[in-house]
Each structure stands twice: as structure tokens, then as C-alpha cells.
Amino acid sequence: MKVFGIGIDVIEIERVEKAIETFGDRFLARIFTVDERDYCLRQNRPAVHFAARWSAKEATSKALGTGIGELLSWGDMEVVRRQSGEPEMVLSGDGLEFCSQHGIDQIKVSLTHAKHYAAANAVALTTS
């Protein structure tokens, strides 16, 4: 496998908490899939988990070199948990199409969080 690109992102958890307080479900539905929302809302501090997923999506957009916009939208990316607990980035829509066009087979992500910050990194891998 070869590295297509890498990305990293850090976000203040308070920023996500304020967005949830201000915009509620409209904000959550714009950024996160139904399954991501269900998972995060089951946690003791949902904003921590939302923030980590936000960072994973930002890091993924950096690894792909697209940013979030025309070639990759928030809804094209979903952080899922494997049975082992390991996070995995799953793409759909334009994001999946972009990866297909560029031979990207996998995007590895790692998430972390502390009291005030959440962070993630992403590595886009290709076999070509």
C-alpha cells in the first residue's frame, strides 16, 4: 500500500457543545449521519464524541486533499466502529467516487479526546 495523503485536526469540545446548544438537531443532521448521532447521544458526554468525529471528517478531507465542499461533503463521511472498537471511515456519494477515481482503497483514522479537546488523524491509502 502507498500513502495518498495524511490529515490531522484538533477541535475544542466547547465549540461543538455551543453549536449543539445553538442549532440543535439541524446542526447534528448537517454534519453527522443517523448512526453517528445515535452512537454519540448514547454516551455520557455526547459532545466529546461528536467533536472526535468532526475532527475525523476534517482530517479525512485533508488526507484526500479536497477539503469539505464540492468533492466531499459532511454526509459523504461516516465514522463507524468495528466490532473490535477500532474506528473506521466509510465514504459514500461524491467522496466514494473521488476515492474510486484516485485508487484510494482505505482511509485509516484514529480519534482521541481529553477534557477540552478532541483530535483525529487520517491516512488515505492506495494499492496503486
Residues involved in catalysis: 62, 113
Q: What is the DSSP string of 7-53?
A: EEEEEEHHHHHHHHHHHHHHHHHHHS-HHHHHHHHTSSSHHHHHHHH
**Given CA atoms 17, 121, 53, 67 in this order, what sign does their dihedral have?**
positive
Question: What contacts 43, CB < 8 A, 6 or more positions away?
Answer: 49
